[in-house]
């Protein structure tokens, strides 16, 4: 059954999905790592592929940029295609001084400036968190590989450009590790639908120091994170 945003049919998508924002990164992952990869979606150029990784069926689906786009694509994967687990693989800007370019961050919990949670009409403030089993397994994989990583709280922001110069820096006092633009919708949708989610990020920007990777480097230099995420997908109980 297709949706307005995805032409995949029932059974085309695996139970576990790696989800980069960039469609070309999805294509790169599929062509580099998956055997017998088949493209199941080209609608709006939000490319999606299913193939085999070391004998396990895995899909890769691009989400686009920002909370609204992630909200659409993750909701449809969970609800309409019965996906069990989504692992977001993306880039982030460091907030903590302890992070360097290329470091990996596992998003255990979230804070945000987005209004996405308001749809649930809750009588307080909700803090989305990742699936603990995925956090634990991802951390073990990073330890095994000797990779520089941190696990903790990340910021999902609706604003890439903002009038307030110090907006990102203000989160540093609460030990927020980094900022990205999608995970809030992913974690909320997962919890609401009884599914699993995790975000793994590579630091591509140091906004408080004025440093950033170029567009091509962002797409191609995340090998350490991607291979750890694929290992996670392989080992996850799905």
Residue with tokens 């909700």: 126
SS3 content of the chain, % helix, strand, coil (to 5): 35, 30, 35
Quote the tokens at residue 101: 């370019």
Residues contacting residue 171 through CB under 8 Å, at least 6 positions apart? 95, 111, 155, 179
Say if CB 66 and CB 44 are below 8 A apart: no
- Residue found by looking up tokens 């962002």 in the block: 218
Q: Kindly report the CA angle at 224 between 219 and 228, in degrees rounded to 5?
A: 115
Which pair of structure tokens corresponds to residue 192? Answer: 């609401």
Structure tokens at 70: 């992630």
Structure tokens at 28: 């790169």
Q: Looking at the annotation, which residues are catalytic? A: 205
CB 220: neighbour CB atoms within 10 A?
13
Burial of 35 (0-12, 13-18, 19+ CB in 10 A): exposed
Task: Give the integer Cα–Cα distance in Å for 237 and 44.
Answer: 32
Beta carbons within 8 Å of 97's beta carbon, 6+ residues apart: 172
């Amino acid at each position: 059954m297709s949706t307005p945003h995805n032409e995949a049919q029932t059974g085309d998508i695996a139970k576990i999905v790696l989800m980069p924002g960039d469609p070309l990164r999805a294509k790169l992952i599929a062509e580099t790592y998956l055997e017998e990869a088949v493209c199941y979606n080209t609608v709006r150029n939000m490319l999606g592929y299913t193939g085999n990784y070391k004998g396990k069926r895995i899909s890769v689906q691009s989400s686009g940029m920002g909370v609204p786009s992630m909200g659409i694509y993750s909701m449809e994967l969970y609800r309409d295609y019965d996906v069990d687990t989504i692992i977001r693989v993306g880039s982030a800007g460091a907030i903590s001084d302890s992070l360097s370019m290329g470091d990996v961050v596992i998003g255990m919990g979230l804070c945000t400036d987005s209004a996405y949670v308001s749809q649930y009409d809750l009588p307080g403030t909700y803090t989305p968190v990742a699936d603990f089993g995925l956090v634990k397994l991802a951390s073990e994989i990073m330890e095994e590989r000797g990779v520089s990583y941190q696990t903790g709280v990340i910021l999902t922001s609706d604003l890439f450009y903002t009038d307030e110069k110090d907006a990102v820096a203000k989160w540093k006092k609460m030990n927020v590790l980094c900022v990205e633009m999608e995970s809030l919708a992913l974690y909320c949708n997962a919890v609401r639908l009884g599914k699993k989610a995790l975000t793994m990020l590579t630091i591509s920007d140091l906004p408080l120091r004025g440093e950033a990777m170029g567009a091509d480097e962002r797409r191609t230099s995340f090998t350490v994170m991607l291979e750890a995420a694929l290992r996670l997908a392989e080992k996850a109980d799905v």
